[in-house]
Amino acid sequence: MLIDAHIHIALNHLYNKQEWESARRETQIEWVRRVLKEYKKAGIYALRDGGDGIYASKLAREIAEEEGVIYKSPIYALYKQGHYGNFLGESITDKEDFTRTFKILLDHKLDHLKIILTGIVDFKKYGEVGETTFTLEELKYMVETAREHNIPVMVHANGKDGVQKAITAGVHTIEHGYLISEAEVYYMAEKEILWTPTLSPLGNILNTHSNKFKMEREIISRVYEEQIENIRKAVELGCNVVLGSDSGAYGVDHGKGLFDEMAHFEKIGLNRYEIEKMCLENGTKALKLDRSVLQKKRRDGGVAL
């Protein structure tokens, strides 16, 4: 069975935020079901969503159960007010604000807490990822609060500072992790933090001949190649590297993105068997799946493990 450990079902060609919010529930269900069926056709039966601001991933979790798909949702991501992340969730200002918001997420039965700690990779200025928006104290508080409720923490972080803070705070998984050094790779391995490096958003741009990012291509290529090298080092160190495509991002299609991710991983020097094994084993850890659940999925749906 294949696991895509980082997707955004709210981002696709079927609808946008305005269309979703004005649509009837029946239409929303049909949209979500169509996306889930793309994953099923591809043999991908377990998904972890990175959040959205329209409750699409919550509905997807409900429909996924009907479709025989394991679906993990954070309901919505949390980001620092005034910073990157408004289309992925809700903003918070401080620890007290987090406590109030986390109680709401508990009511919605979140599967994992998604925190947006930094910005994204700037394609125009090499090395720029925005500031680390939460202090280490704030991040530790959020991680410890989630841990009290047995909720794993999935953190969007790029750059040395953000990734170092995420590791120190004891998060469950680090998403993206671009523009880091060997020191952060060693630190992740030492602390047994799972890393989802999401190669497809950058790699797929490089694989196309579109002029959309013509001026930024050199920086994108440099950042991508550095990520490849860091993943290679992480694998050598025994770091738990997770396959997540970031499907829904520009140029990364639902149902196909995971196979793009696998193709990018081949550049590290891994063969397809090793990649699929990593996809299953570390994806299982990222989603905190019980092996017995996967065995039942295989019996019920004929899905190979």
Q: Residue 70 pairs with which residues in a beta bridge? A: 46
Q: Structurally, what CATH architecture does the domain formed by 2-301 represent?
A: Alpha-Beta Barrel (3.20)
In terms of Cα–Cα distance, which of 36, 57, 8, 42 is closest to 248? Answer: 8
Amino acid, res. 243: L
Q: Which residue has the tokens 């291509």?
A: 217
Q: Where are the domains of the chain?
A: 2-301
Spell out a b/e string for 173-186, using b for 16 or more CB atoms within 10 Å of the CB, else e: bbbbbbbbeeebbe
Q: What is the pLDDT of residue 298?
A: 58
Q: What is the pLDDT of residue 305?
A: 46
Residue 52 CA: distances (Å) to CA of 74, 76, 85, 305: 9, 5, 9, 30
| The two structure tokens encoding residue 284 | 């299982």
Q: What is the pLDDT of residue 191?
A: 98
Q: What is the pLDDT of residue 302?
A: 44
Q: Residue 249 pairs with which residues in a beta bridge? A: 247
Residue-wise pLDDT tens for the chain (305 aa)? 899 999 999 999 999 999 999 999 999 999 999 999 999 999 999 999 999 999 999 999 999 999 999 999 999 999 999 999 999 999 999 999 999 999 999 999 999 999 999 999 999 999 999 999 999 999 999 999 999 999 999 999 999 999 999 999 999 999 999 999 999 999 999 999 999 999 999 999 999 978 899 999 999 999 999 999 999 999 999 999 999 999 999 999 999 999 999 999 999 999 999 999 999 999 999 999 987 766 666 556 544 44
Q: What is the pLDDT of residue 209?
A: 79
Instruction: Please provide the size of the chain in residues.
Output: 305
The rounded distance, in Å, linking the Cα atoms of 50 and 7 is 6
Q: What is the pLDDT of residue 295?
A: 67
